[in-house]
Amino acid sequence: MIKRRFQTASIPIAISLLVVAAYGLLIPWMGFYWDDWTFAWISHFLGPGEFIEAFKPFRPFLGPIFTVTTSLFGENPLAWQVFAVILRALTGIAVWWSFGKIWPQRKREVALLSLAFVVFPGYLSQWVAFTHSNQELISLLAYLLSFGVMALALQPVSRCWPLTLGALALMFIGLFPTEYFFGLELLRPIILWFMLEPLVPRAGKRFVQTTRYWAPYLTLWLANAVWLYSYQRSGAYESYDIQAFDVLQLPPLKLVLNILEEGIQALATAGFAAWTRPFQLLVQPLGVLSNLLPLALAGACFMGLFLYLGRMNFPELVADKQKTPWAAQAVLLGVLGILVGRIPSWLAGLPLAIEFSWDRFMLSTMLGGSLLLAGLIEFFIKSDLRKTMLFSLLIALAVGRQFATANTFRRDWENQRQFFWQLAWRIPSLKPGTVLATHELPLVYESDFNLTAPLNWIYSPVIESKDLSYMMIYTRARLGSDLLPKVQAGLPVKAQYRTMTFQGSTSDMVVFYHPVPGCVRVLDDVYAGKETTPGLTYMLTDAIPLSNLTRIRADAAPAVPPANLFGEEPAHGWCYYFEKAELARQRGDWQTAAVLGDEAAANGLSALAPVEWLPFIEAYARTGNLAPAAELTQKVHETNKDLDPALCSLWARAAGQDGAAEELKSRAAATGLELGCQP
């Protein structure tokens, strides 16, 4: 029986299937992250054309790209996730096609290179789909294709100039909208050098030919360099400054050591750490489903890849006319690709790391990291079977790592939705000009500025001017900055939010806290002061006196988070009853708060954190239900004695209300003695 063998034409299909396994399985449960929120908000409220103006101070050539894509996909999270997966597959296919033209005799090596590239585990932000599809993946795809079209132009039967113009057009799309891939152009003359080696053996003549072929690309590259420098020095630019000029002022020895250190760190991160970290999947506890699933997926991918590549019908390698072995070419291009890929982020003084959100800079080193891996395996392992096995293992583990990361994005999206629903339950409406402040939220893939967009989306569903109604601030990130120089009443808070402007005051601030586990808590000096947050950072507790609950319109019609983003209202669990009880307490409606406590108990619900019993204790005490108030007080005391001062204040407030019954005063006094309250 003749074994079925796969043809090389199936490689794009294999790349696409691998992309789906790594990035696509969980996308129905993904949403918006990081800058996605800002861009989705702009698209919905200001329209796609606003991106032209929004990107003028940052990357002017990006505006048209965003305008086109948002006109197609709007603010649909699933559409953006699907688009990003398709783009990622196309970049892998572009590597297969382009480097297949550069190394036409090396189909096997190029196939392995493209499979490794498309799951490169140093870049773990694929699901920030709205942002990275537009800002990087489209440009990366164009740049990769420019290498292939350039290779076509070198073929004797090709029409050189039309193809060269096409390659230049693709290079423009890859170069001008974003500076990420600026350094990759330095790979082109090396690629040309290797391609010309069989045709022009003499080094001197080949240098002239390489320079001649590279000249149009070099001209465009230099034009981009001049543009970047002049624009960043102009008054219109409002983003990262070029920090490398400070480094260049160092003494020569320190400068050399600094550059050497950065180069080694980049090679270690993109060339080695990126490929070895997925092995951590093998040491995770298997009793946890979130650990078992990525490992199971990696195992399935390993078997599939090993069988597929083992039965691949690669053409026989014809005698190679190139003097430089392919492995040496790949290693050289890999090392250079990592180093030059690091240039843009290094110039901006930004770190290269395999962690959010710095991993986005790994995009420009992704090609180099994949070339280096392919070249080293080709150099050190001679057996095709062992090469296939090792590549299959590394790629499969990379798929598992990407899936495991996808699951953290899925959880983060669910946590975002839960947070905003709790916020909507607690805060029906906000007065415009309000600052919502906390130390930091238990969300991984968003910052305070990112979350300002959904905050406004919920509480300001109609935009009538360029004045932004609300601002989210993390004191951990903003305290000591121009935005929030110190925690003090009456200070102006002003921020530019793309094309919108927020103007508020520290006196118009609502301070809140979201513990884990626990529900969102609006803080204030009376009911939820410092004594209710024992052990928390001063960056939160010092801001509590600024919390102005009059900014919350407690009796207004409740805000409803849009279902297309936040889903339908969740089932009413503990946090629903807690938030509504807190809102009732703010209105002084103790009877409603007590009823909510009874309903929660009847439904078998219990506090996620001891402090969450406090509004119900006070409601029961003030409405004469002293038995449950005393019982819950004892439960909080036994669970967390650090909350005793808060319990003391609570009972003192209840007993001190106008018309307090003698029984309540007696119970409060007895509780004070039990808790050791200070008179």
Supply the DSSP symbol for 317.
P
**Mean of pLDDT values over 331-350:** 95
| Mean pLDDT for all residues in the chain | 94
Which residues are within 8 A (CB) of 316 and not within 5 positions of it... i.e. 6 or more apart? none
- The answer on pLDDT for 2 being more than 70 is no
**What integer pLDDT is reported at residue 347 of this predicted model?**
87
In the structure, what pLDDT confidence band is assigned to residue 58 with cuts at 50, 70 and 90? confident
Say if residue 396 is in the same domain as residue 535. Answer: no
β-sheet bridge partners, residue 513: 521
Domain membership flag for residue 414: no
Buried b (16+ CB within 10 A) or exposed e, 90-123: bbbbbbbbbbbbbbebbbbbbbbbbbbbbbbbbb
pTM: 0.95
Of 63-77, 311-325, 492-506, least confident by mean pLDDT is: 311-325
Asked if 180 and 62 touch (Cβ cutoff 8 Å), the reply is no
Q: Which of 409, 444, 477 is the last residue of a domain?
A: 409
SS3 510: strand
- The answer on pLDDT for 437 being more than 60 is yes
- The answer on pLDDT for 493 being more than 60 is yes
For 66-109, the pLDDT digits (tens) are 999 999 999 999 999 999 999 999 999 999 999 999 999 999 99
- The answer on pLDDT for 272 being more than 50 is yes
The CA distance from 326 to 151, in Å, is: 17
Say if residue 356 is in the same domain as residue 250. Answer: yes
**Mean of pLDDT values over 486-507:** 95
Q: Distance from first CA to last CA of the chain, Å, rounded?
A: 94
Q: Which of 570, 586, 602 is the last residue of a domain?
A: 570
**What integer pLDDT is reported at residue 310 of this predicted model?**
92
**What integer pLDDT is reported at residue 245 of this predicted model?**
63
Exposed, middle or buried by CB within 10 Å (0-12, 13-18, 19+), for 203?
Answer: exposed
Rg of the chain in Å (alpha carbons): 30
Between 255 and 369, the higher pLDDT residue: 369
Q: How many helices (H) and strands (E) does the chain have?
A: 28, 7
What is the arrangement of strands in the sheet containing 470-474, beginning at the earlier edge strand? 470-474, 434-438, 509-513, 521-522
Domain membership flag for residue 96: yes
Say if residue 494 is in the same domain as residue 584. Answer: no
- The answer on pLDDT for 476 being more than 80 is yes
Range of the domain at 372: 8-409
The CA distance from 494 to 500, in Å, is: 11
Say if residue 579 is in the same domain as residue 562. Answer: no
**Mean of pLDDT values over 608-634:** 97
Asked if 341 and 365 touch (Cβ cutoff 8 Å), the reply is yes
Q: How many domains does the chain have?
A: 3
- The answer on pLDDT for 577 being more than 80 is yes
The CA distance from 505 to 523, in Å, is: 18
Say if residue 149 is in the same domain as residue 237. Answer: yes
pLDDT > 90 fraction of the chain, expressed in percent and rounded: 88
Domain membership flag for residue 416: no
Domain membership flag for residue 418: no
